[in-house]
Chain A
């Protein structure tokens, strides 16, 4: 079993598809992952399952891989209900989670923006470029840079989960370049394709960060590191000033007023 624990998850799932189905039951969605190079042992550890759940999961995985092996069934206290673990964040990580909220508000508006662009006689270039500006300045420069320059430095940058996050950021930047090109050319289909792709990517990306990556990093941080990270994030925020987050919150409120009112009309 130790041998399998050190294998990449994609390889394990390809060889034993049942493992993918079992992981899925526990909310561990490795099957659709495009990379899949996390090791099985890390995949299980990173999700911070209840000890009872983890013991049962490992038993089921081992039985799926070695059906003939006499694997001792874990003793599960049926009276002790496994409760979903409440996620708590350290203050600097909580700040990053809070920044996701504004980004998610834009993501929620993207289908409406896309509809508007599609149904307008001419592409509203100004609107599209303002959304791009929010994504490039607030989501990418203000938020993602704190992740890349500060948060991710506290864990092994070569860890697969971190590499996936970097890849997501790059893929997102690629989609936004395409959106800008579409806006310049007045190509509605190009804008639609890449704004929606960005929305799908970031929705999954933020979910992974809020529920898995950030709690995993938080569990590894010492008190001293939390204090350091808090200071570094505050310094990074101070370097751009208070006005920047306020400006982009105002932009989102304006966008919500424009599009959500149209929907309710």
Chain B
């Protein structure tokens, strides 16, 4: 096992223990469009004064209850700190969300792979550049979709 943990091939298709229930339909908790951080405007009405979820692209696929447990009640922006370009724009957008949209909190949800921590760093830099201060929470999702940690940073 070598190479970048973010792109290393791992197969857990044999995993059999599946807790939880498959019954019932889960409605989407998405209340906005667009969602990609390059495409959203901090001035969009759905950001004003809200709790924001800044999600690394992979998290919604990895964590089964993403909508129910983390998206519900929040507005969202998604990004990939490994592959996206022009990430300095992201820092400015976070700053603008804090200062102009006056968001209430920012929750950054990332995968456990090292490159994903870049998204938390973007959030911290945006906060440092902003005049207002808000609480930031970091949630780390394991590769098999488990929550490894959830803490205010």
Contact = CB atoms under 8 A, between A and B. Distances in A.
B96 interface: no
B135 A91 contact: yes
Interface in B24-63: 51
A227 interface: yes
Interface in B104-135: 104-105, 107, 133-135
A224 B51 contact: yes
Contacts of B74: 223
B151 to A, nearest CB: 6
Contacts of B73: 224
B122 to A, nearest CB: 19
Interface residues of A: mostly helix, strand, loop or mixed? helix
Interface in A214-265: 223-224, 226-228, 230-231, 234
B77 to A, nearest CB: 16
B134 A227 contact: yes
B137 interface: yes
Q: How large is the interface on A (under 10, 10 to 19, 20 to 34, 35 or more residues)?
A: 10 to 19
Nearest to A91: B135
A230 B135 contact: yes
Q: How large is the interface on B (under 10, 10 to 19, 20 to 34, 35 or more residues)?
A: 10 to 19
Contacts of A88: 151-152
Interface in A183-216: none
Interface in A76-124: 88-92, 94
B104 A231 contact: yes
Interface in A6-42: none
Contacts of A224: 51, 73, 104-105
A89 B152 contact: yes
B151 A92 contact: no
A228 B104 contact: yes
Interface in B85-109: 104-105, 107
Given A224-B105, A227-B104, 8 more contacts: A90-B135, A91-B135, A223-B51, A223-B137, A224-B73, A226-B135, A227-B134, A231-B134
Interface of A: 88-92, 94, 223-224, 226-228, 230-231, 234
18 contacts: A88-B152, A89-B152, A90-B152, A94-B152, A223-B51, A223-B107, A223-B137, A224-B104, A224-B105, A226-B152, A227-B104, A227-B105, A227-B135, A228-B104, A230-B105, A231-B104, A231-B134, A234-B133
